Amino acid sequence: MDRDKLYLGVSLIWLALLTSVVVYVLLQQSCLRAVIATNDARSIVAIMAESFGDSFSIVEVTPDDTSAGEPATEIWIALAKPSQALTLVLAAVPEGWTAELLNVHLTEEQQRMFEEFNLKPGDVYKISPK
């Protein structure tokens, strides 16, 4: 009898979780449809900027095996919040590399230079040579 109650309880929890996920996805799709219906690319970029942020993060990546002729380190920029920059850069480099967020204050000149890359929110760019 207790086992049946446990199974019923677990089933109800899964059903509630699944319902929550479906509602969330439907809400996200309706918001995106509303933006797309306006045909306003600036709105889409604004939503992405809100999600990723609109500042540059500097990330240093290092291969785990430097004996393969790879450079010791590479420097990447990400137009994303620092909390997301590491994940975005790690997705762009080979598996097994290590990433570290650098605490760097950009000068106005560096900021302008990075803006010339025309990155969109969530984009990454390698700035050191391979």
Query: How confident is the model over 22-44, as pLDDT tens digits?
Result: 556 655 655 555 555 555 555 55
Across-strand partners of 77?
A: 58, 125
Mean pLDDT of the chain: 76
Q: What per-residue confidence (pLDDT) applies to 96?
A: 87
Q: Which three-class secondary structure state does DSSP give residue 53?
A: coil
On whether residue 44 sits in a domain, the answer given is no
Query: What's the domain count of the chain?
Result: 2
Give 106-110 contacts, CB < 8 A, sequence gap 24+: 106/56, 106/58
> Under a CB-based contact definition with an 8 Å cutoff, are residues 53 and 81 in contact?
yes
Residue 83 pLDDT grade (very low, low, confident, very high; cuts 50, 70, 90): confident
Q: What is d(CA 117, CA 44) in angstroms, rounded to the nearest whole number?
A: 19
Residue 49 lies in a domain: no
Kindly report the pTM of this predicted structure: 0.58
Range of 28's domain? Answer: 2-39
66 with 107, same domain: the answer is yes
Q: Are residues 9 and 58 located together in one domain of the fold?
A: no
Question: pLDDT value at position 1?
Answer: 57
- Both 34 and 61 in a single domain? no
Residue 7 has which token pair?
């199974």
pLDDT at 101: 94
